[in-house]
């Protein structure tokens, strides 16, 4: 199959965003838990409303993948659409790759479509059990992938500051190690927007107040980037830009219409 092994790398994760220049602020004491909470609470559903503070995200992305032991580097870029899970609706997402090859990865939370136009083929997978909001309890169950587990990363991973703690722009760099062995992830690094964390701390560590006082829309999506390292040492990096949050996204965006003449295949059972 031509192109990246995008589907496997994507489901395993996201990757690393361009460091944003942080605005000058007064001194604020930020601890590891503050950085973790800024990520988790942004995606955690409110028990009263059933909705998360961060409901939708759109962003441009750049992806770079390297294979351990090989000099070749694979790059891709495109646009991401994300509709966070609620107490009634599953997680939905769409990744449209524009370069170097066109590819679409789309899920309405029940079905996952991976479309490879060059091959005239779409892979259709049933993910209803994976993303079912009525059976998945974030306080009890382990997330099956990174997107689903954003509201509970501290339960799925042991988290520390990376050795550098901050990038050149002052954004916080987290190092995550899976609490239980996984097939795809050995180590994960997340760069968290400095201003998003400081805003959270300055608003009394109240996520609702944080979102209502957000000075810039892109701060609402606190993840600037992620870098995933697998057990062989291969890496997948993704960087986000032009972020927009909490805008109306139609559910039809997360459904794929199979073009005429395209072959439909299903992955073997158990995968």
pLDDT in tens, 187-203: 999 999 999 999 999 99
Q: Is the pLDDT of residue 179 over 80?
A: yes
Please state, rounded to an integer, the average pLDDT across all residues of the chain: 84
pLDDT at 15: 33
Calculate mean pLDDT across residues 157-175.
Answer: 95
Q: Is residue 123 part of a domain?
A: yes
Beta strands (DSSP E) in 150-234 are: 157-166, 172-178, 187-192, 223-229
CATH code of the domain in which 162 resides: 2.50.20.10
Calculate mean pLDDT across residues 180-186.
Answer: 81
pLDDT at 201: 95
d(CA 55, CA 233): 34
Calculate mean pLDDT across residues 101-123.
Answer: 93
Q: Is residue 40 part of a domain?
A: yes
Of the pLDDT bands very low, low, confident and very high (cuts 50, 70, 90), residue 140 is low
What sign for the dihedral angle of Cα 237, 53, 154, 174? positive
Q: Is residue 270 part of a domain?
A: no
Tally the domains of the chain.
1
| Residues 32, 36, 41, 43, Cα dihedral to 10° | 160
Q: Is residue 106 part of a domain?
A: yes
Q: Is the pLDDT of residue 23 over 50?
A: no
Range of the domain at 134: 6-265
Q: Is residue 271 part of a domain?
A: no
Q: Is residue 205 part of a domain?
A: yes
pLDDT at 136: 67
Q: Is residue 37 part of a domain?
A: yes
């Amino acid at each position: 199959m031509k192109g990246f092994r995008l589907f496997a790398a994507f489901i395993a994760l996201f990757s690393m965003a361009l460091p944003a220049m942080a605005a000058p602020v007064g001194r604020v004491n930020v601890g590891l838990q503050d950085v973790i909470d800024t990520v988790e609470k942004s995606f955690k559903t409110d028990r009263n409303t059933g909705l998360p503070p961060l409901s939708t995200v759109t962003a441009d992305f750049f992806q770079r993948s390297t294979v351990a032991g090989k000099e070749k580097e694979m790059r891709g870029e495109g646009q991401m659409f994300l509709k966070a899970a609620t107490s009634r609706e599953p997680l939905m997402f769409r990744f449209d790759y524009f370069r170097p090859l066109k590819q679409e990865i789309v899920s309405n939370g029940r079905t996952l479509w991976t479309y490879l136009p060059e091959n005239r083929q779409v892979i259709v997978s049933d993910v209803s059990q994976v993303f079912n909001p009525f059976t998945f309890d974030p306080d009890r169950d382990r997330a099956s992938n990174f997107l689903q587990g954003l509201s509970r990363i501290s339960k799925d991973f042991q988290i520390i500051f990376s050795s550098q703690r901050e990038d050149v722009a002052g954004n916080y760099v987290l190092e995550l190690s899976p609490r239980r062995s996984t097939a795809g992830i050995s180590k994960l690094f997340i760069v968290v927007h400095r201003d998003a964390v400081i805003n959270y701390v300055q608003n009394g560590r109240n996520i609702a107040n944080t979102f209502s006082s957000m000075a810039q829309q892109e701060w609402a999506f606190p993840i600037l980037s992620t870098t995933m390292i697998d057990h062989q040492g291969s890496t997948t990096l993704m960087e986000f830009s032009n972020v927009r949050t909490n805008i109306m996204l139609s559910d039809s965006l997360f459904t794929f219409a199979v073009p005429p003449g395209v072959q439909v295949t299903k992955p073997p059972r158990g995968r």
